[in-house]
A and B are shown apart, each in its own frame.
Chain A
Amino acid sequence: MVEVLSESYQNKFGYEGLTRCYQCGNCTAICPVSDGRFPRRLIAHLRWGRIERFDEVWLCLQCKLCDEFCPRDTNPSLAMQTLKRISVENGSVPPHIGEFLMNVYRRRNPWGHSRMKRGEWMKDLNVPTVKDCEFDWLWFVGCANSFDSRVLGVTEKIARILNELEISYAVLGRDEGCCGNDVKRIGEDGLFELLMEENFKVFKRYGVERIITHSPHCYNTFKNDYNIEVKLFLELLHDFINDGSVELKHEFKKVVTYHDSCFLGRYNNIYELPREILRSVPGLKLVEMRSNRRTSICCGGGAGNIAVGYQGKVQPSILRVKEALDVNADVLAVACPFCKIMLEEASKSVNCNLKVLDVVDIVYHSMYGEGL
């Protein structure tokens, strides 16, 4: 479908960076997953006001790497998000993204697990729910940490740490929904609003004012889209390590490299926090990969790709694992459940000894000397 728009095309798309673009192609060159057809070329299309069906737009992971390299502040990732939004509005969504969205819509999680089972992870744990106690903080567990067996261990560890630190918190259990961060990145604004309204309703019902979360995806959307007070679990951890409430007694004698999550790093400028935590673990040697901090590459799990895996030819997770191997790291530390899922799979598929661990895993080990 071709639409030629004559007037105020930029307003229509709600993307102002458009006219600033001078088509240098930096974004395309830097993009780890681009096949050369985006973002530059698609911005040219947008500029023209000609919108057609672009299947390649779904290769974009919304990792914002291109934004970092744009000399004109064009925010190509926003252009990609805009194009995705237009595609969604026209109903042209590739099957794997459609499935992701339908799962979130029907079951409030990307995998299509039963909503009833959201609280199952805490069956044997002593985790307070909002229904049965007073609390200061709501721990928003997040979809991955609630369902995915690969990161459930992290969830359990967080629960134990929270309990032992005697923090006044509670979880929503079965009432927890999906934060909608990736739904928004896909451009499904209607669904995002639905989720946001629903979440706010739940927050109001239980008097939630402040949120702790471990997932950078939840953190990002709560902070920037919901505008609600939110704290990253790692921030909490960092504070406790600093004031001595958390004692890191056990040595972790490994070479560790840290992979920046896009939603912590480029989206929210949190680069040093996880690194400081890692540095305070005794025995740990922190090394940096070739691309780190601002230039870090994505794990491939963003923008709706977490449920079925990234569909492109280039698997960024594998690139990332190779980078970690290049610096002879034993452990690839992550701070995001999505990254953990993607990178762990990549590490298995390249058949190497690289262990992918959450920062929480490492801290937990250092605190209790177990759990690895």
Chain B
Amino acid sequence: MRVGVYICHCGFNIAGFLDIDELVRYAESLNDVVIVRDYRFMCSNPGQELIRDDIEKLNLDRVVVAACSPNLHEATFRRVLSESGLNPFFLQIANIREQCSWVHSDKVKATEKAKRIIRSAVERVKHHTALESKRVNVIPRVLVIGGGIAGISASLLIAEAGVEVYLVEREPTIGGNMAKFDKVFPTLDCAACILTPKMTAVKENPNIKLYTNSEVVEVRGSVGNFKVKIRVKPRFIDEDACTGCMECVDSCLYYPTIPSKFDEKIGFRKPIYMPFPQAIPNTPIINPDECLYFITNKCPMYCEDVCEADAINFEQEERIEEVEVGAIVIATGYKLFDPSEISEYGYGRYKNVFTALQVERMLNSTGPTGGRIVVNGREPERVAIVHCVGSRDERYRRYCSRVCCMYSLKLAHLIKERTNAEVYNFYIDMRAFGKGYEEFYRSVLEEVKVVRGKVAEITDIPMNDDERREVERGRVIVVFEDTLLGRVERIPFDMVILSPAIEPSDGTKELARILKVSLDENGFFREIHPKLAPTVVAPGIFVCGCAQGPKDIQDSVAQAESAAGQALSMINRGFVELEPTTAYVDEEKCSGCGMCVPVCPFQAIEVVSVNGHVRARIDESLCMGCGVCAASCPSRAIRHRLFESETIRAEILSLL
């Protein structure tokens, strides 16, 4: 065998720490190694050229690249091999950056470790066999999960390219959280003016099949070929027949006493309701857990009487629809952290304390107060907005929720505009990072007071008579330290708005399980690489919007369209290449015990009868090469391409 070893300096990342000359000398001494080269950036064009030349001139048949993680450039170097006429799988990457130069402090020992890593790669690569990539056709349809602004944007872009989209939304209407807003920063555009045309476009686009009040319950298959089950919950009103006249809602004899989820529980609705007037589909919904017909069966059913379109159908039942798609876009968005967990802020205990979304609903002209800010029945005179509630907090959510600074400033501006109240913003760091944000911040600074300091406590326990009077007026006292002045202050407020952290929507974990993708430490979908593939979660599964991490509308839309582009690019190509590093069954050894079937996370294995013998069979288009089956097989009948026992043994032995 003729092995070439290529050691990358990676600028100073590797060469600044490891003794490259020593590594070169060592690699040259290894068996079968015919050439060792080092270069500043092996992944660059001249670096690749080195390998190409050597393969041609020195007739190499195996290549080891000692560089960064294979996640980054394995594909690059495989391409180099195949362009030079070598099977791309005759490559092994020795990771001497992430596993060596970056993580150690002793240069000599680290160099020693790098030597071992290179040696093991050389030994391993000799066992590599030639593999062929397989092509799988891509079904030219896309599933979009979540109908917020990200999901809508992605769906529209894909549909406009002529590709069919299934848009699945859990709520009775699309629009997501953005539909709750009144205005958006930094331009102070009306949110509805931006969103509702897009929602209508979704409804009207023939390429989009909209499933509201629905959930994805099962996903099988793999990239290019997913089989998806969607549970469509009954709405009890026929969407096609309904004209959206709202007569049924008006006629319902139930008083509007149920806290509306859409109105963040500050508004009330009936059991039959439309979340908001511009909802898409423009059809009310009946909640069977609240409707008298379902609970008592003793309802005069005025709604049915008044409906001239005969759209009301109490007999509707839940149904499961199955669709087949080539790609999936996750756009499940976010929910707010529940600030009642922070007991010192008294959310839920004091009538004066609201979340930012509640105030968004108050400010919205279609909201429960018709756009008026009301606390205890009157307009507030002094309002506090508390940033970072639960965000950047080791006790609750450690990450920065990114949008709170800006939306808090926006709320401050809107409240100032509507009520002329005195507004205080309490921040820890003001993060105005986007285009036009700093300018917005500056303009808001002219009208509100910003205080640097995290609010410690919101209380109604007065310290003196002045405070007692304020508390009796229905105010609460906010205690904080102005850290710029180094002084602890207590100020009474009529209204306190908490800007809670953004966290993944309910059901994110469940969806991750269904899609077999991983979540990051904060519960958001984990992208493959933050820079190289920020929208890709797994082959054929893309993520956008707040499902991937907190972000504002601009970024959500941009990412949604990027995810849509990824999906379209795949569909346009028509096929995907599958990694050939799959498992296969040695039918001689297989006893057909079926141990492997339940452990496969991709449902790729079934037990079939072959020539009268029961044998396991692996559908290699579904296999993702995780190796669980190979490990579980008691008779070692399942083997794994590129991870044969001999290969791994050679790798391990040479490490020792």
> Which residue numbers of A lie inside 8 Å of B, CB to CB?
6-7, 10, 19-20, 22-23, 40-41, 44-45, 47-49
Contact = CB atoms under 8 A, between A and B. Distances in A.
B485 A44 contact: yes
Contact of A23 (B422, B442, B484): B484
A23 B449 CA distance: 13
Given A19-B442, A20-B442, A41-B485, A48 B449 contact: yes
Contacts of B451: 48
Contacts of A23: 452, 484
Contacts of B631: none
Interface residues of B, number: 11
A57 to B, nearest CB: 15
B442 A41 contact: no
Contact of B449 (A22, A40, A41, A47): A47
B422 A6 contact: yes
B445 A19 contact: yes
A40 B498 CA distance: 28
Contacts, number: 24
A45 B487 CA distance: 11
Nearest to B445: A19
A196 to B, nearest CB: 32
B17 to A, nearest CB: 36
Nearest to A9: B449
Nearest first, the 8 A-B pairs at minimum CB distance are: A19-B445, A44-B484, A19-B446, A6-B422, A23-B484, A44-B485, A41-B485, A45-B485
Nearest to A41: B485
A41 B484 contact: yes
A47 B425 CA distance: 13
Contacts of A20: 442, 445
B254 to A, nearest CB: 45
B196 to A, nearest CB: 35
Interface in B413-446: 422, 430, 442, 445-446
Nearest to B424: A48
Interface of B: 422, 430, 442, 445-446, 449, 451-452, 482, 484-485
Contact of B482 (A7, A10, A44): A44
A7 B422 CA distance: 8
11 contacts: A7-B422, A10-B446, A19-B442, A19-B445, A20-B445, A23-B452, A23-B484, A41-B485, A48-B451, A48-B485, A49-B449
B645 to A, nearest CB: 63
A7 B447 CA distance: 9
A41 B487 CA distance: 11
A190 B426 CA distance: 38
A44 B451 CA distance: 9
Contacts of A47: 449
Given A44-B485, A48-B449, A48-B482, 6 more contacts: A6-B422, A41-B484, A44-B482, A45-B485, A47-B449, A48-B451
Contacts of B485: 41, 44-45, 48
A10 B447 CA distance: 10
B157 to A, nearest CB: 39
Contacts of A40: 484
A19 B442 CA distance: 7
Contacts of A49: 449
